[in-house]
Amino acid sequence: SSCTERPYVREETLDAAFRQTLKALILPDDLLAEFLRSLEVNSEERDQAKAVRLSELRAQHSMLTKRLDCLYRDRLDHTISANAYKGYKSEIEKECDSVEGEILVAEEMNGEALRGGIRILQLLPTLVDRFENADPQEKRLCLLAVLSNSCWKDGGLVVEYRQPLDSIVSAVSLH
């Protein structure tokens, strides 16, 4: 059953219902601290793993480049035939291209999602106050940031939180 019917609901009633919805996101201090620590550790671990992976990939790329240099010298010294040179060179260049692609992907892993999660958690304690003091446009933006969907159904507000806020609501209700 969807929320296709749109009954009239007073603005004050909606505001109160949305305030309650936002209050469900307020974490107890101990849980907030635990979530923040976890995200910060994950962010640090991700940064360390990224640095290790980039180092490994760069070392592999350097080794492949040295192989190409040696292969070129072997060809100049007539140690290998022209056909063998072309074959080996093609294989090594394909490996180099693959490693270069992996390096680009690894460099793009910037941890923004984790840092965004940390920022969301830091803003949650002030969310209700911000909502209460906002003008209608700011309230709308606040709700859009938190909710993926909402409707008035059977005399009450039905909401779907955006991820990871849905998990936070679950954690608060279990705490």
Q: What is the pLDDT of residues 54-81, one digit of tens each?
A: 999 999 999 999 999 999 999 999 999 9
Q: Are 152 and 164 in contact (CB under 8 A)?
A: no
Question: Could you identify the residue written with the tokens 């056909």?
Answer: 83
Length, in residues, of the chain: 175
The answer, as to whether pTM is greater than 0.85, is no
Give residue 74's pLDDT.
Answer: 94
Q: What 3-state DSSP class applies to 155?
A: coil
Give residue 70's pLDDT.
Answer: 95
Which residues of the chain register pLDDT less than 50?
none
Distance, CA of 97 to CA of 57 (rounded, Å): 12
Give residue 111's pLDDT.
Answer: 64
Give residue 125's pLDDT.
Answer: 83
Distance, CA of 9 to CA of 97 (rounded, Å): 60
Q: Are 147 and 139 in contact (CB under 8 A)?
A: no
Q: What 3-state DSSP class applies to 148?
A: strand
Give residue 36's pLDDT.
Answer: 79
Tell me how far the alpha carbon of residue 129 is from its chain's centroid: 27
Distance, CA of 9 to CA of 87 (rounded, Å): 74
